[in-house]
Amino acid sequence: MKILKVRVWRGGADGAFQPFEVPRRESQTVLDVVTYIQRALEPALAYRFACRVGMCGSCAMTVNGVPRWTCRTHVDAALKNEDELTIGPLRNLPVIRDLVTDMREFFDKWARARGNFEGNKTRRDDFAKVLPQSEDRKQIDAAIECIGCAVCYASCDVVAWNPEYLGPAALNRAWTLIKDPRDQKGRERLRAVAGDAGCHACHTHLSCTERCPKHISPTRGIAGLKRATIFAFAGRPS
């Protein structure tokens, strides 16, 4: 039986990597490896997962230096030419214990970016008609499948340098609402996402776009927000 060498982060922010040896299996995912360790080798290992099929966004970790969704990442893909797997918690988020991070700040920033839909119709009104081929709808389609895994947030250097920065996921969410013709709070949302903590702080490194497991480009949405702020604020009283 082939053996896979694995190092897993243990403890809080000042913890350390602990080595394990795990049976190597065909089509093995990184989440399979972590689950094996917890069930067979170290029951106290803390990690987070739910759906195991790439829908819930709860199993993201740093695998060999790269933030990834572990349930859909094969060990082969994560190893590349290395012979050891190193699994740690996501970057840019406080570590609670082992592989579990505190996601509160990540989701609080969605609220700060006014990521909630605010319409003005009731159930007595007719359905809003948004044509599938309309430009707004196409742009929303390209950005709407975010699962909130925080891989983009952990990949973003601007978040590391500027803790107030809302981050790619929250700004991407704001972008989908800006393009939603049913939403009524576009101007307030743009005010919330403009500036040093928002879209204008993005350096266009594209790390979020490179690493998003859903192949969303938050960078594109952030660029759209920048353009939208011009039309909302430049030349008009704020």
Partner 1 sequence: MSARAQTYLWLAQRASAAILALCVAVHLATMIYAIRGGLSAAEILARTRGHAGWLAFYSTFVLAVAVHAPIGLRPVLGEWLRWRGASRDLCLAALALLLAGLGMRAVLGVFL
Q: Given the rule CB under 8 A, which residues bind partner 1? A: 158, 161-162, 190-191, 194-196, 200-201, 203, 226, 229-230, 232-234, 236, 238
Whole-number minimum distance, CB 232 to partner 1, in Å?
Answer: 8
Q: Given the complex with partner 1, which of 7 and 187 has the nearer CB atom?
A: 187
113 close to 189: Cβ distance less than 8 angstroms = yes
Whole-number minimum distance, CB 113 to partner 1, in Å?
Answer: 13
Q: Given the complex with partner 1, which of 125 and 196 has the nearer CB atom?
A: 196
CA 58 to CA 71: how far, in whole Å? 9
- Beta-bridge partners for 68: 61
Q: Given the complex with partner 1, which of 122 and 238 has the nearer CB atom?
A: 238
CA 35 to CA 84: how far, in whole Å? 17
CA 166 to CA 140: how far, in whole Å? 19
Whole-number minimum distance, CB 173 to partner 1, in Å?
Answer: 18
**Which tokens in the block code for residue 210?**
């490179």
Whole-number minimum distance, CB 195 to partner 1, in Å?
Answer: 4
Residue that the structure tokens 């214990």 belong to: 97
